[in-house]
Amino acid sequence: MTGEFSFYGLYIPWLLLLSLLALACSRVISYVLARTGLYRLIWHPALFDFALFIIVLGGLTFFLPHQAY
């Protein structure tokens, strides 16, 4: 299994691509929580955002197919 993606000869790690996707997803979830008012129930927003990012990243790495060339 290769751990990188070739983009015009530049090798980009899959984890970096998944991290960017997880960051975008977690930001959208945080925005929705803030707009609905549920975000005010969270005691430590920065810690919650980090945990949400880790959970989304773990879910993406588990459910997306791995590239094996």
Q: Is it the case that residue 69 has pLDDT exceeding 60?
A: no
Mean of pLDDT over the chain: 89
Q: Are 13 and 3 in contact (CB under 8 A)?
A: yes
**Distance between first and last Cα of the chain:** 7
Cβ–Cβ < 8 Å for 5, 68: no
Q: In the prediction, which pLDDT does 5 show?
A: 78
User: Which stretches of 1-69 are assigned E, i.e. beta strand?
Assistant: 4-7, 10-13
Q: What is the pLDDT of residue 68?
A: 52
Share of the chain above pLDDT 70, in %: 91
Q: Give the whole-angstrom CA distance, residue 57 versus residue 65.
A: 14
- The reported pLDDT for the residue numbered 1 is 42
Kindly report the pTM of this predicted structure: 0.82
